């Protein structure tokens, strides 16, 4: 079978790319090794940024009857409550199984050919061969196969850089042990080094996890155990599950000629909040548009050039966030940041607006950087 575009990976990035291209009349194959619906290890925090991208790309809102929506959040630091914020922009909490399945169904409804539950044996820059022996070809390939991307490995020899990647551990605490409806939505800044801990109440469970840069956290399991104990939970309540996340480790050149990478495969994760669903959908959409434009020009090999230029605003945001991350997470500065966070309503408010997608990093940076001299004074006092 010949297609215009083959999308490899049917998570948020892949389903967004497939939907966007199929709606423009392109022949699209959507490939995944997993059978859908399938779950994915994730906090499942679906921000208003995610929601607005979802609506733009899929043409309708995500069904919020399936999610828990909170307007309050608690921030903790080293077992002390820093602040509880009320009336914040809404934060939605969902399991990935219904979210990803809804996106996948949009892609199929839009006309993408369903190649899920099809493990891949081999790829080239124009073909995908499945383990059952079938081969499909496409003028443009979009690799949206997550952090362990086979497409990134095919292009660059390795899917990610072990020195700069992030890693997270999670458990689902069942409602029989802890009632999610009475649990606060909670973030703990010091639960991991260069990272944080989270407790996210859902309908029938609470997702509890720790995550951060992999290299400074060689003992993430110990962080997880300590975090669960600090929440009054028995660490043996469920088996820890782990997954890499490209925590701001984005690829400046995400592809080669007619082969593009999007979502986690391209490192499109916020380096401070760890938010990846929104950037996966958005980069998938941008990759699909670049592919369609390149095909319109009958020059599939120009897809990467078009993609990189459209990605610039997102890349600038991620780059700025990487700089800010040093202020928020670097052990020497973190206490000063925490003090400022505790005292400054402006910093807290801007942080929440950022999470909600109401502002982007340049505005957060202005709010935080105007307070930088105070950080250093505070840091020097210690």
Q: Which residues are at the interface with ligand FAD (CB under 6 A)?
A: 8-14, 31-34, 40-45, 120, 144-146, 148, 150, 168, 170, 209, 211, 243, 245, 263-265, 269, 274-278, 280
240 or 305: whose CB is closer to ligand FAD?
240
* Residue with nearest beta carbon to ligand FAD: 276
CB of residue 12 vs ligand FAD: minimum separation in angstroms? 4
How many whole angstroms separate alpha carbon 239 and alpha carbon 316? Answer: 38
9 or 201: whose CB is closer to ligand FAD?
9
43 or 271: whose CB is closer to ligand FAD?
43
Torsions phi, psi for 372 (to 5 deg) = -60, -45
Torsions phi, psi for 47 (to 5 deg) = -80, 175
4 or 170: whose CB is closer to ligand FAD?
170
168 or 248: whose CB is closer to ligand FAD?
168
- Beta-carbon neighbour count of residue 153 at 10 Å? 16
| β-pair type (80-85, 195-201) | unpaired
How many whole angstroms separate alpha carbon 213 and alpha carbon 165? Answer: 6
| β-pair type (28-31, 113-115) | parallel
How many whole angstroms separate alpha carbon 118 and alpha carbon 10? Answer: 11
Per 3-state DSSP, the chain is made up of helix, strand and coil in percentages (nearest 5) of 40, 25, 35
CB of residue 297 vs ligand FAD: minimum separation in angstroms? 27
Give the pair of three-digit tokens for residue 15.
């389903």
CB of residue 144 vs ligand FAD: minimum separation in angstroms? 5
CB of residue 13 vs ligand FAD: minimum separation in angstroms? 3
Token pair 């899929």 in the structure block, residue: 58
CB of residue 154 vs ligand FAD: minimum separation in angstroms? 10
Supply angle C-alpha 322, 254, 158, rounded to 5.
90
How many whole angstroms separate alpha carbon 249 and alpha carbon 247? Answer: 5
248 or 274: whose CB is closer to ligand FAD?
274
CB of residue 104 vs ligand FAD: minimum separation in angstroms? 9
DSSP state of 65: G
Q: Can you point out the beta strands (E) in 148-192?
A: 166-174, 186-188
260 or 336: whose CB is closer to ligand FAD?
260
How many whole angstroms separate alpha carbon 368 and alpha carbon 362? Answer: 10
Give the C-alpha distances (Å, rounded to integers) separating 217 from 117, 210, 221: 34, 10, 9
CB of residue 277 vs ligand FAD: minimum separation in angstroms? 3
CB of residue 73 vs ligand FAD: minimum separation in angstroms? 13
Three-class DSSP category at 146:
coil
333 or 356: whose CB is closer to ligand FAD?
356
């Amino acid at each position: 079978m010949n297609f215009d575009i083959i999308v490899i990976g049917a998570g948020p990035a892949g389903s967004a790319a497939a939907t966007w291209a199929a709606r423009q009349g392109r022949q699209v194959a959507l490939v995944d090794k997993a059978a859908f619906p399938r779950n994915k290890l994730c906090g499942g925090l679906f921000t208003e940024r995610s929601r607005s991208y979802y609506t733009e790309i899929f043409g309708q809102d995500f069904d919020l009857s399936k999610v828990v929506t909170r307007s309050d959040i608690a921030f903790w630091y080293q077992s002390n409550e820093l602040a509880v914020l009320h009336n914040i922009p809404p934060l939605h909490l969902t399991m990935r199984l219904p979210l990803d399945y809804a996106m996948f169904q949009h892609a199929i409804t839009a006309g993408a050919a369903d190649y899920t539950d099809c493990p891949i044996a081999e790829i080239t820059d124009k073909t995908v061969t499945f383990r059952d022996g079938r081969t499909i070809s496409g003028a443009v390939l979009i690799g949206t196969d997550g952090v362990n991307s086979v497409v990134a490995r095919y292009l660059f020899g390795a899917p990610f850089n072990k020195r700069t990647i992030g890693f997270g551990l999670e458990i689902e605490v069942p409602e029989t042990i802890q009632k999610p409806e009475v649990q606060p939505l909670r973030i703990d800044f010091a639960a991991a080094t260069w990272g944080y801990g989270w407790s996210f109440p859902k309908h029938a469970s609470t997702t509890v996890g720790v995550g951060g840069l992999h290299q400074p956290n060689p003992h993430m399991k110990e962080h997880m155990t300590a975090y669960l104990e600090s929440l009054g939970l028995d660490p043996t309540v469920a088996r820890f599950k782990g997954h890499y996340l490209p925590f701001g480790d984005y690829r400046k050149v995400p592809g080669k000629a007619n082969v593009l990478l999007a979502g986690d495969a391209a490192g499109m994760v916020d380096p401070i909040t760890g938010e990846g669903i929104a950037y996966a959908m958005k980069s998938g959409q941008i990759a699909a548009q670049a592919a369609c434009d390149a095909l319109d020009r009958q020059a599939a090999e120009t897809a990467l050039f078009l993609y990189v230029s459209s990605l610039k605003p997102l890349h600038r945001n991620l780059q700025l966030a990487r700089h800010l991350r040093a202020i928020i997470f670097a052990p020497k500065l973190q206490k000063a940041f925490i003090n400022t966070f505790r005292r400054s309503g402006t910093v807290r408010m801007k942080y929440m607006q950022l999470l909600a997608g109401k502002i982007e990093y340049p505005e957060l940076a202005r709010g935080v950087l105007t307070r930088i001299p105070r950080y250093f004074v505070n840091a020097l006092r210690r």
